[in-house]
Amino acid sequence: MYNADENDIRFAIRHVIGLNAVTDLTPFADYDADICDAVLSEAAKLATEVIAPLNQSGDNGSTWHTDNTVTTPAGFAQAFKALGEGGWTGIGTAEEYGGQNMPEILCAATREMWHSANMGFALCHLLTEGLIHALQTSASEEQKQMFVRPMAEGRWTGTMNLTESQAGTDLAAIRTQATPEGDHYRIKGQKIFITYGEHDMSENIVHLVLARTPDAPTGVKGISVFIVPKFLVNEDGSLGARNDVKCVSIEHKMGINGSPTAVLQYGENEGAIGYLVGEVNKGLNIMFNMMNHARFSVGIEGLAISSRAYYQALSYAQERRQGIPLDRNVGDAIIHHPDVMRLLVTMRAEIEAMRPLVFYGATALDRGHYDTGESKSNWQTRAELMVPIIKGWMTERSIDIASDGVQVHGGMGFIEETGAAQHLRDARILTIYEGTTAIQANDLMFRKTLRDQGVAVRTLIEDIRQDADKTLLAAIEDAETALDHILTGGLSTREAAAISVPYLMMLGYLTGGWMALKNKTAAIAQQNTGDWDANFLKAKIAHADVYAAHSLPRVASLAQTILNGSKSVEAMESHWFDS
């Protein structure tokens, strides 16, 4: 029931986005098609043979012990060791710190396979990648050498520590204290919702912690970032004494149960030793850099769990026999029922739109980092615009796609035995962690649209227009009408926020339609080459047409909501709910 979808990933990279989009960047000049194919094949093999078999059993969850240790599900530690030994844990890390510096498009493809195989397991690597990214960008050279290399080698893992019980999204309310002491700080406070904050899969855990120094200004301007290792590190890189940080409990959750979500207590005794990253009171930008990387990866998780739910449903529909499908034969499987076919083909159509959109975002990230001149700046702007769309739209759609997967199973989908329900439960967190959909939407509305008066969005729309057919052009017109209303409609700040999620979803469906059409164009162009199976190409064309008929029209309906929906929400008084 697990399928890495290696063939479609390869098609999207080669023909929809184009491998040359990254190979003309100097660091990636050697990544030809053969090398990329080899990476994808090995990543798919690892996902299929090592990671996926642990998914359903891993749903039983990790176990916290009274000595403040955590045991992950059977097989997790061995699987993570296999990632490290195979060099996979450092694929995106710079070579000077023990990594392979692969292009983000290949890292994204690998993440999709692993999260589709087992999201609870793969989260450990996701957070470690994010920490590596943050340290490579902001840490001192000594800190990079000390902490990045062991994580790239898979010997250590990393976490991100933002949330406190009184401070969720509101980082200004953080109370964790960092008191200077010589060349380090003493950290005291409690952090919650820490993914893989304690586990048995690595020798050490490196926590990146938000805290305040004693004289820090109030609000977000007083936040600093500190490296706090579970075990202190000696000058020669060996592990020393246990730091003053411990896991006091793990959460009982709806999904991703294999991933231990820890409550961490810092400084129960003298205080945990931490090392300042960057400058005092300048930590928010460092953490947001890590969060931006994580948000893109969570968007990939939306694609990944959608794909897993789809293949689970497809397998069931091909085997299950129930009733006689209209105009079909006795004994035909339920896949021949028209509505089951509708569910499956619309699931697949959106997945095939999501996948190249992820790779487009990955390309924008790489070009924004490695390109030069004006092109570099343009790609940076494009990457910043795409991250909230990818994170918000794909995770929202993953819930509905996973739910449709349950629907295909009928009553058996409601039974945990089949595994279909797990995908829905796992998907449900994706619109919440690393910034809720509303946070992504407000970022898109206020920082990415209103701040520059829509320049970045209009530039994106113009790029879409260059590839558009008649159907996509109509959707573009609807989107532009909605955008004009946002920019010139005299909306109050609250009114703009009230329609920010519909705005994000509208751009998600529009950019998805762009990728669906590019899929179709590429499939048509490949029909006479002999490089691809004829049925594979016919299916891609059909999926693009399904997207145009079933998903793209939502641009128009969401545009109407944007035009007419804000004032009706703002007219509501909160106390009326009690009437």
Q: pLDDT tier at 449 (50, 70, 90 boundaries)?
A: very high
Domain boundaries, the chain: 437-571
Residue 205, CB-side half-sphere exposure with 13 Å CA sphere: 27
Helix residue spans in 183-262 (DSSP H): none
Expressed in angstroms, the distance from the first to the final Cα of the chain is: 50
- Mean pLDDT throughout 24-31? 92
Residue owning tokens 């059993």: 57
Give the bridge partners for 428, in sequence order.
Answer: none
d(CA 522, CA 318): 28
Q: What is the pLDDT of residues 292-317, one digit of tens each?
A: 889 999 999 999 999 999 999 999 99
pLDDT value at 83 more than 80: yes
d(CA 169, CA 148): 28
pLDDT value at 170 more than 80: no
Burial of 327 from C-beta contacts in 10 A (0-12 / 13-18 / 19+): exposed
The per-residue b/e assignment along 340-378, b for 16 or more CB within 10 angstroms, e otherwise, is beebbbbbbbbbbbbbbbbbbbbbbbbbbebbeeeeeeb
> Taking a C-beta distance cutoff of 8 angstroms, is the pair 334, 322 a contact?
yes
In one-letter notation, the amino acid at residue 255 is G
Burial of 534 from C-beta contacts in 10 A (0-12 / 13-18 / 19+): exposed
In 222-337, the DSSP E strands lie at 224-229, 231-233, 239-242, 245-250, 261-266, 272-277
d(CA 134, CA 355): 25
Residue 73, CB-side half-sphere exposure with 13 Å CA sphere: 20
Please provide the average confidence, as pLDDT, over all residues in the chain: 96
Residue owning tokens 């573009």: 476
- Neighbouring residues of 506: CB distance < 8 A, sequence distance ≥ 6: 479, 482, 554, 555, 558, 559, 562
Catalytic positions = 434
pLDDT value at 171 more than 80: no
Closest C-alpha among 16, 91, 58 to residue 363: 16
> Taking a C-beta distance cutoff of 8 angstroms, is the pair 389, 511 a contact?
yes
Taking the model in full, what pTM does it have?
0.96
Q: What is the pLDDT of residue 212?
A: 95
Q: What is residue 214's three-state secondary structure?
A: coil
Q: What is the pLDDT of residues 283-292, one digit of tens each?
A: 988 888 888 8
Dihedral sign for Cα atoms in the order 127, 132, 135, 140? positive
Give the bridge partners for 181, in sequence order.
Answer: 184
Q: What is the pLDDT of residues 365-393, one digit of tens each?
A: 999 999 998 999 999 999 999 999 999 99
DSSP string, 318-351: HH---S--TTS-TT--GGGSHHHHHHHHHHHHHH
